[in-house]
Structure 1
Amino acid sequence: MRLGKFLFVCSSIILLLTISCSPTKRNSLPATLAKAHAHNDYQHPHPLFDALSLGYVSVEADIHLVNGTLYVAHDKENITKERTLQALYLNPLRNIIKENGGYVYGQDVPFILLIDIKTDADSTYLALTAVLKKYSSMITFYDNGKRKKGAVTIIVSGNRNLELMKNENLRYAAYDGRFNDLDSNISSTLVPLISANWRNYFNWKGKGEIPAEEKGKLQRLINEAHKQGKQVRFWATDVSSTQQLNLWNTLLESDVDFIGTDKLEKLKDFLSKYD
């Protein structure tokens, strides 16, 4: 096969795959799942698009700053030059939002891109800010403490500096808090989300009924966050298949805001019964 024909065939296949995985057409948009968060979304076959095709409203990407570029990968040794934050997330989201009349899903459904910083907090955040400025028309930003809502809200997790973000007059991302941040009642425009490792707070992993003491603790944590206008997400809640639905049911009953998972299809099937 001649080189030109080979390249044409390859490009055609890539285009067809992109179209088939992309929920960018308004008449084919999925029903959204209000509590669905795609943990380590970039590890799925089609980052962003697999989650969007199922109606997820929050996706997570780990980033590394290397030689001035923000790469998406879990570990530094997994970095490849084509998998940048812009290529995997920001550019596709911008195209989707343009196609869908200013929204990710063609309607005013909040959408979160949770960015987990794996390299140095300050230098990576400053590089991230410089990138996000180029997408300011589509993302939520904060001008002297006032929130200007966009189609996508960026929340920074992992290595992050609260004081650095707090002192910005113009900010393009919010801060992913922890439960101890509730002690100072920080503004929800700065810290709209509280995240925690489930296993640091609870021994129960879905087998049988959750102990009354742990159930009460869970409810108190969620209630206090909600009282301050903050949402709640736990990670490390993927457990064995026989116990998974029981744990997810408990989270729903406790009014957790986001359920994170690597099991995209399974969580979609579970939440579809409630949404």
Structure 2
Amino acid sequence: MDHKISDKTEPAVSVVELEVGFPKISRRRRYWTNSISLLRRSFDRNDLGESPWPKICRHFIYVFTVAVVLGAVAIIVYHSILLDLVRVLSPPKLPDTGLSKIVSEWVEPGTIPTSPSWLPNFSRDILPRAIHSHNDYWRAVPLFQALSLGVTGVEADCHLVNGELFVGHTARSLRPNRTFRTLYLDPLTTILENQNPNNNFTNGTINGVWDTKPTASIVLMTDLKTEGYSTLEAVQQQLQPFREKGWLTYWNGTAVVPGPIIHVGTGNTPFDAVLNSTFSNTTYRDVFFDAPLDALTPSYNASNSYYASTSMSHLFWGIPSSGLSQARLDVVKGQIEMAKSLGLVSRYWNTPSWPATRRMNVWKQLVDLDVGMLNADEILEASRWNWKWCSVLGLHLC
């Protein structure tokens, strides 16, 4: 029996029909699906090879170790450079002098045993510098620390209490053993007596504090805090021994006659008392005024004044770290030149103190403008450091 082969055959299905029959998968989804599958297969342990994780970990450890070693080397090099800069840029050691020994051994007046006020080689190799030790009595060693650095101006705030002159910033800071005599006059007397021995070699000349420059004077500025007339009178009375020995700079009616000490009155010092004091006449006056630098007139001149001072913070507000602007520098330049024309020494107090870069920049600007005396609270930095290199690699060396 013949079997008929069925003519019915299954129809061919086209690709288009398959795609129509199944839901479409977006390209982005297919990409991430394939990527995840590929990543999973690459990290599966199989017969074709080992997992790459150990190799990746080894590479990470190598890179981390190299980075740590390089970082340690960089830190060592950085600090080595800093230490070398500190060594190179730091001022040399102070010369070994009588002054340096006095500073290291100094004790307050009234302490037993008392500190010496003069030792051999007193100021050997110390160069005088036009720096004013602002509020000098606040220092660990008043007077002597300034002298050991070559500072040529010191300042004492004087309070007249029951006939005695005490030195201190305010009345509550006064102490019985810290007087104008004990902190300044007695030491200066001993110093000048030893700098001017009575022998056949001096030829009648009067030497000052500095062995390197015996003709240089030191400014002794008294900032009077109590009533001006009576306090100035007391100061001048205590200066009488200096006057008798010819140690005070004075005006002789026509010119200034230099001496080892220049007495300048400021604070409550009355200008008319400077002109007509008990200790002055037409041919002698040994107290000089601290004239107003920002309000100078020909009334203030070398016959009655020495300093011409003003507060920088009073003149200018908000000084940036870069220092004074050109407009402000022009003001300062004009004031300095005005003081010079009257024979006076310009001085700015209340200059910026912080940050250090701003302080140094203003100091440099003042010196470049030829200020007469650099007023400083930080006398070690002012006298010993190169201000250009006080801030290096983010480190303040001064």
CA distance in 2, matches of 1:25, 1:264: 24
Question: Does the 8 A contact of 1:97 with 1:104 survive in 2?
Answer: yes
CA distance in 2, matches of 1:191, 1:64: 22
Question: Does the 8 A contact of 1:34 with 1:57 survive in 2?
Answer: yes
Q: Structure 1 residues 50 and 259, CA, compared in 2 at 3 Å: closer, same or farther? A: same
SS in 1 for 2:385: helix
SS in 1 for 2:263: strand
Match of 2:269 among 146, 154, 160: 160
SS in 1 for 2:130: strand
Say which is worse superposed, 31-40 or 194-203, in terms of deviation.
31-40
Q: Percent of pairs identical after alignment? A: 27
Aligned to 2:225: 118
Aligned to 1:26: 121
Question: Does the 8 A contact of 1:23 with 1:49 survive in 2?
Answer: no
Say which is worse superposed, 264-273 or 194-203, in terms of deviation.
264-273
When the two structures are superposed, what TM-score results if normalisation uses the length of structure 1?
Answer: 0.86
How many angstroms does 1:103 deviate by? 1.1
How many angstroms does 1:81 deviate by? 1.1
Count, aligned residues: 258
Q: Structure 1 residues 117 and 229, CA, compared in 2 at 3 Å: closer, same or farther? A: same
Aligned to 1:243: 358
Q: Higher strand proportion, which one?
A: 1
Q: Structure 1 residues 146 and 133, CA, compared in 2 at 3 Å: closer, same or farther? A: farther
- Aligned alpha-carbon RMSD (Å): 2.2
SS in 2 for 1:64: strand
Question: Does the 8 A contact of 1:156 with 1:176 survive in 2?
Answer: yes
Question: Does the 8 A contact of 2:123 with 2:148 survive in 1?
Answer: no
Aligned to 2:215: 108
SS in 1 for 2:186: helix
Q: Structure 1 residues 206 and 239, CA, compared in 2 at 3 Å: closer, same or farther? A: farther
Based on CA coordinates, which of the two structures has the bigger radius of gyration?
Answer: 2
CA distance in 2, matches of 1:248, 1:78: 30
Aligned to 2:47: none
Aligned to 2:74: none
Question: Does the 8 A contact of 2:323 with 2:358 survive in 1?
Answer: no
How many angstroms does 1:57 deviate by? 0.5
How many angstroms does 1:35 deviate by? 1.8
Q: Structure 1 residues 218 and 135, CA, compared in 2 at 3 Å: closer, same or farther? A: same
**Superimposed CA distance per residue, residues 79-106 of structure 1 (whole angstroms, 9 cap, x where no aligned partner):** 1111111111011011112222331113
Question: Does the 8 A contact of 1:238 with 1:261 survive in 2?
Answer: no
CA distance in 2, matches of 1:116, 1:93: 18
SS in 1 for 2:343: coil
Aligned to 1:7: none
Is 1:254 the counterpart of 2:369? The answer is: yes
**Superimposed CA distance per residue, residues 10-51 of structure 1 (whole angstroms, 9 cap, x where no aligned partner):** 845x54xx4xxx675336534234221111000111110111
Aligned to 1:263: 378
How many angstroms does 1:255 deviate by? 0.6
> What stretches of structure 2 of length at least 5 have no aligned partner?
1-110, 197-206, 389-398
How many angstroms does 1:144 deviate by? 4.4
Match of 1:216 among 330, 340, 347: 330
> What stretches of structure 1 of length at least 5 have no aligned partner?
1-9
Q: Which structure's relative contact order is higher, taking Cα pairs within 8 Å and 6+ residues apart? A: 1
Is 1:75 the counterpart of 2:190? The answer is: no
CA distance in 1, matches of 2:381, 2:143: 17
When the two structures are superposed, what TM-score results if normalisation uses the length of structure 2?
Answer: 0.60
Residues 37-186 of structure 1 mapped to structure 2, 5 A cutoff: 37-101=132-196, 102-106=207-211, 107-136=214-243, 137=245, 138-144=247-253, 146-167=255-276, 168-169=280-281, 170-179=284-293, 182-186=296-300
Q: Structure 1 residues 158 and 182, CA, compared in 2 at 3 Å: closer, same or farther? A: same
Question: Does the 8 A contact of 1:206 with 1:239 survive in 2?
Answer: no
CA distance in 2, matches of 1:27, 1:69: 30
SS in 2 for 1:160: coil
Question: Does the 8 A contact of 1:57 with 1:111 survive in 2?
Answer: yes
Q: Structure 1 residues 268 and 125, CA, compared in 2 at 3 Å: closer, same or farther? A: same
SS in 1 for 2:153: strand
Say which is worse superposed, 185-194 or 122-131, in terms of deviation.
185-194
Q: Structure 1 residues 270 and 183, CA, compared in 2 at 3 Å: closer, same or farther? A: same
SS in 1 for 2:346: strand
CA distance in 1, matches of 2:351, 2:128: 18
How many angstroms does 1:209 deviate by? 4.8
SS in 2 for 1:184: coil
